[in-house]
Structure 1
Amino acid sequence: MAITQNYRLNLIQWYPGHIAKAEKKLKEQLKRVDVVFEVRDARIPLATHHPQMAEWVEGKTRVLILNRVDMITPQMRSLWIDWFKRQGEVPYFTNAQHGKGIAEVARAAQAAGVELNQRRSDRGMLPRPVRAVVIGFPNVGKSALINRLLGKRVVESAARPGVTRQLRWVRISEHLELLDAPGVIPVRLENQDAALKLAICDDIGEASYDNQLVAAALVDLLNYLEAVAADLLPKKPLESRYQLDSTISDTGDIYLHALAEHRYKGDIERAARQLLTDFRKGLLGEISLELPPN
């Protein structure tokens, strides 16, 4: 479903200077890396896949991590597991904030280390710690994941994009060294449907979008998902939260205006911000904004 009809004159583009600098340094450091932890947002696992990932991972072990598993239903998780398996991939689902799934990720890193050092031993070389890098879009939970793997807070972590600005190596154990990198994002966001989902999920800088347009697009998307996959969503998430039925409106924009009148004394910007905040905090329920293809 295309949800970008309102965005013809409002393209979402965001590529701040610190990301450009960090990406250049990241490419230099990748020569030293054995394993790439690719972290995506479990609510939008396709939109948070970086198009250059295959190039960065070439010749290295890749561990695919879908973070924020607590924000999607177990049924949705099963569908994604099946879909990724058909692509020949094994996703690891985590909730880095609360430590869920971290042990499995640590074991995957350990297995990669065993394989690496077996190859080194075969060539008559001494073993060394496996070097891994954590790569993903801004605000998908990379720093929280590193802190969980380490068992203490060593890198700054916050629920907003762009907190990590420098590359730094963190020693997790005698077997694992991790490179914490700032969020990476394509220089140009060609797919505006994906860009909208990044904005809805707060995985892109707020300066790049209009809250009211994004909130209206979220309503349109929720109505579409209810129409095609109601069994995968909470029942009437908007009506349950705001006591205002979203199906009474032809468009998300009309619903947003109605919500502003209903709850926020006609303040449309306040209604938009509240709607986005409620979705991001999981107050509308466990909602995946993407369905596995086919």
Structure 2
Amino acid sequence: MTIQWYPGHIAKAERELKEQLKRVDVVLEVRDARIPLSTHHPQLPQWVGSKARVLVINRLDMITPAVRQLWTSWFQQQGETPYFTNAQQGKGIREVTQAAQEAGVQMNQRRRDRGMQPRPVRAVAIGFPNVGKSALINRLLGRRVVESARRPGVTRQLRWVRISDQIELLDSPGVIPGILKDQQKAIKLAICDDIGEASYDNQQVAATLVELLQDLEDVAQRGVFAASPLKTRYELDPTSFSGEGYLRALADYRHQGDIERTARQLLNDFRKGLLGAIPLELPPT
């Protein structure tokens, strides 16, 4: 299975985003808490350059406090401060706003030093599709202004919105590399619904999810997150199966042998958190 997805609206948005970045003071890089490494755009450091950057790890509700602490420690070791948010419920939003405003204070001090008038800080939210950028912006605004939904490709064009007298924010469509060289990361994007459904096969992706959960079982047993989520949810132990074998067995057990229906159910259950708060990535050791 090879996963590639680069629709025309993303290519157009990327060109416009690069142009708008010239006007921006601070970049809010939004990632998915379940896969914070896979949702880092490899070209972002080049785009951001010397601008201030605020690292936002969204979907806090999809990981456990123990996993959050592991990532916090790891990012701090890399010299970064992660801001964890749940944009759907508004958690962590105040801290993100403060971080953006602090970047604006520094920007305006430089303007004053050059004899220029202060102005609102211009920020932009950048991230892969469906990581929660629009939901984050609505929370920052305190009202629903931009369209938001838990599926990739909702935002199609760039739009400036004023959050307050201090901050203007640019909402942009999700951006993704033109070529996904790392297919392991691409599969995780598919599992988490951070890439268009037309790019992958549900059955193959669901089978890979089973295998990833099997690989993570040792970590789960150490109490980092709930162990045996598939056995708990479906009353069918995956231990003795391959990913595809488990999918077939689960289809026979619950859906009269309908493997496609089973694959969709499994992926939807993971995406909605019905298997529990489970990360697909942990900090490198």
Q: CA deviation at 1:229?
A: 4.6
Give the 5 Å matches for 1:126-275: 126-231=117-222, 232-249=224-241, 251-275=242-266
Hey, what's the Cα distance between the residues in 1 that align with 2:221 and 2:264?
A: 25
Hey, what's the Cα distance between the residues in 1 that align with 2:124 and 2:221?
A: 38
Q: CA deviation at 1:233?
A: 2.6
Tell me, yes or no, if structure 1 residue 98 matches structure 2 residue 89: yes
Tell me, yes or no, if structure 1 residue 22 matches structure 2 residue 28: no
| TM-score scaled by length of structure 1 | 0.96
Counterpart position of 2:70: 79
Hey, what's the Cα distance between the residues in 2 that align with 1:125 and 1:233?
A: 52
Q: CA deviation at 1:227?
A: 3.0
Hey, what's the Cα distance between the residues in 1 that align with 2:253 and 2:271?
A: 21
Q: Deviations over 1:254-289 (max 9, x none)?
A: 000000000001000000000000000000001010
| TM-score scaled by length of structure 2 | 0.99
Tell me, yes or no, if structure 1 residue 113 matches structure 2 residue 104: yes
One-letter code of the match for 2:229? P
Hey, what's the Cα distance between the residues in 2 that align with 1:106 and 1:209?
A: 36
Q: Deviations over 1:22-72 (max 9, x none)?
A: 100000100000000000000000000000010111010000000001110
For the aligned residues, what is the CA RMSD? 0.7
Q: Number of aligned pairs?
A: 284
Task: Give the ranges of 4+ consecutive aligned residues of structure 1 lying more than 4 Å apart after TM superposition.
Answer: none
The answer to whether the Cα contact below 8 Å between 1:237 and 1:284 also exists between their aligned partners in 2 is yes
The answer to whether the Cα contact below 8 Å between 1:14 and 1:204 also exists between their aligned partners in 2 is yes
One-letter code of the match for 1:108? A
2:29 to 38, 41, 50: 38
Hey, what's the Cα distance between the residues in 2 that align with 1:248 and 1:33?
A: 53
Hey, what's the Cα distance between the residues in 1 that align with 2:265 and 2:225?
A: 20
